[in-house]
Amino acid sequence: MADNTDTAIVIVAAGRGTRAGGDVPKQWRPVAGKTVLARTVAAFAGFGRVVLVLHPDDMIGGLSEFGGTVTLVAGGASRTESVRNALETLDMNTVSRVLIHDGARPFVSPELIQRVLSALAHAPAAAPALPVSDALWRGQDGHVSGTMDRDGLFRAQTPQGFHLREIVAAYRGHAGDAHDDVAIARARGLDVVIVEGDEENFKLTWPKDFLRAERMLAGDMDVRTGNGYDVHAFTDGDHVTLCGIEIPHSRALLGHSDADVGMHALTDAIYGALAEGDIGRHFPPTDPRWKGAASRIFLSHAADLARQKGYRLTNADVTLVCERPKIGPHALAMARELARIATVDPERISVKATTSEQLGFTGREEGIAALATVTLVRS
Ligand code: MG
């Protein structure tokens, strides 16, 4: 889409709407693990430079969420003022067309965006809409007080697209507020082409809209599990390190690093869920850099890799198999330490232990084995 460098996308998200419930404005509420606004911004990737209009109180939050990927502009007292502020930041020498979009419409499709852009090749303004299909009534006090003809009526959506010079001139010539940008364009006499809207491009307004959004995204959810298994032999020593916790013991574990068998199993489980091999692939034992390296480096790398690929670690379960030392008294501290290293909620990590009834190598206390299972979710 190299020919979209002349396109700016103004996303208006300065409102304080709380009709949707919750204690933060709706555009900042998460849907399936990602804020509405992050989803809306992502929907325009590749279509042009995004200018995000935020409430002045949200500028710092916006900077931390979007960094340098978008231009942030402080909104005004009304939507009209907010759009005006954003338009005045655009350089008419380099930007020739602008799409103005509601921050609370995260489900806008690339096809719809393209329909608006294509229409701008032949008209100064274009906007998506859907014909009204239900009968229309007037109502008062819970009773029908009249009926309306729905012929020729449309439900307006965004993005509304304009030739930049035309809409800037329209805004400069318009005093006061307006229903939307199309109203301001028409007040200046601009021809506005209607392109086909999309039922899924709805505006999140009410609590039930958020339930609908969650349901829509549930279909896209990618849920992965991974398992890890590791064994380390005992050797001479006076302590073992298990899941990041040092425990005094009459023996130590033999290994290339700190021999943290539990953390290794968990790390391998994360790599496994990502189909990214195992610790040995990312930290080759032949590389002197990793000689004696603390195992938390491995776990934190695996957890970061999962995040980079868009996954959340939703739970992990680690089982240590040994006769001694006794794990029970340390299990909670271990779970907390794993959670701290992987930067996840401690309640999502479980560490437990079992003996093998004195059978096999763990029963003979020749070493310790560990198993781990993780679930990663991307939505
Ligand atoms: Mg190991």
Both structure tokens of 366: 């020749």
Give CB contacts under 8 A, 24+ apart, made by 70-78: 70/11, 70/41, 74/14, 75/12, 75/13, 75/14, 76/14, 78/177
What is the reported pLDDT for 331?
Answer: 97
Cα(359) to ligand 1 centroid in Å equals 21
Q: Is the peptide bond before 128 cis (omega within 30 degrees of 0)?
A: no
- Asked if residue 320 lies in contact with residue 242, where contact means CB atoms within 8 angstroms, the answer is yes
Both structure tokens of 300: 């934190």
Q: Which residues contact 135 (CB under 8 A, 6 or more apart)?
A: 147, 150
Digitized pLDDT (tens) for each residue of the chain, 379 residues in all = 446 789 999 999 998 866 666 778 889 998 988 899 999 999 998 899 999 999 999 999 899 889 888 999 999 999 999 999 999 999 999 999 999 999 999 999 999 999 999 999 999 999 999 999 999 999 999 999 999 999 999 999 999 999 999 999 999 999 888 889 999 999 999 999 999 999 999 999 888 999 999 888 887 778 999 999 999 999 999 999 999 999 999 999 998 778 999 999 999 999 999 999 999 999 988 888 887 789 999 999 999 999 988 899 999 999 999 999 999 999 999 999 999 999 998 999 999 999 999 999 999 999 999 999 999 998 6
Whole-Å CA distances, 193 to 102, 106, 119: 19, 23, 7
Residue pointed to by tokens 């399936």? 32
What is the reported pLDDT for 18?
Answer: 62
What is the phi-psi region of residue 134: left when phi exceeds 0, alpha when psi lies from -120 to 50, beta otherwise?
Answer: beta
Both structure tokens of 329: 């008294």
- Asked if residue 191 lies in contact with residue 124, where contact means CB atoms within 8 angstroms, the answer is yes
Cα(157) to ligand 1 centroid in Å equals 56
Cα(295) to ligand 1 centroid in Å equals 9
SS3 178: coil
Whole-Å CA distances, 211 to 86, 190, 200, 276: 31, 38, 13, 34
The Cα–Cα gap between 112 and 129 comes to 10
Residue ranges of E strands in the chain: 7-13, 30-31, 34-35, 49-54, 71-74, 97-102, 125-131, 136-140, 143-148, 154-156, 160-163, 192-196, 222-236, 239-242, 245-248, 251-253, 312-321, 349-354, 367-378
The Cα–Cα gap between 348 and 353 comes to 17
Q: Domain ranges in the chain? A: 7-133+151-220, 222-378
The Cα–Cα gap between 236 and 239 comes to 9
What is the reported pLDDT for 2?
Answer: 42
What is the reported pLDDT for 282?
Answer: 95
Q: Is the dihedral of CA 72, 78, 83, 89 positive or negative?
A: negative
Cα(280) to ligand 1 centroid in Å equals 9
The Cα–Cα gap between 226 and 311 comes to 13
- Asked if residue 259 lies in contact with residue 241, where contact means CB atoms within 8 angstroms, the answer is yes
Q: Which residues contact 138 (CB under 8 A, 6 or more apart)?
A: 144, 145, 146, 147, 148
What is the reported pLDDT for 21?
Answer: 67
- Asked if residue 125 lies in contact with residue 159, where contact means CB atoms within 8 angstroms, the answer is no
Both structure tokens of 363: 């029963």
Cα(265) to ligand 1 centroid in Å equals 7
Nearest CA to 51 out of 27, 79, 74 is that of: 74
Phi/psi at 219 (5° precision): -65, -25
The Cα–Cα gap between 232 and 251 comes to 12
- Asked if residue 301 lies in contact with residue 289, where contact means CB atoms within 8 angstroms, the answer is no
DSSP states of 339-364 as a string?
HHHHTS-GGGEEEEEE--TT-HHHHT
Cα(263) to ligand 1 centroid in Å equals 8
Cα(253) to ligand 1 centroid in Å equals 10
pTM listed for this prediction: 0.62
Cα(209) to ligand 1 centroid in Å equals 48
Name the superfamily (CATH) of residues 7-133+151-220: Spore Coat Polysaccharide Biosynthesis Protein SpsA; Chain A (3.90.550.10)
Both structure tokens of 167: 């809409």
CATH topology of domain 222-378: 60s Ribosomal Protein L30; Chain: A; (3.30.1330)
Cα(255) to ligand 1 centroid in Å equals 7
What is the reported pLDDT for 25?
Answer: 87
Q: Do domains 7-133+151-220 and 222-378 have the same CATH topology?
A: no
What is the reported pLDDT for 177?
Answer: 86
Cα(18) to ligand 1 centroid in Å equals 51
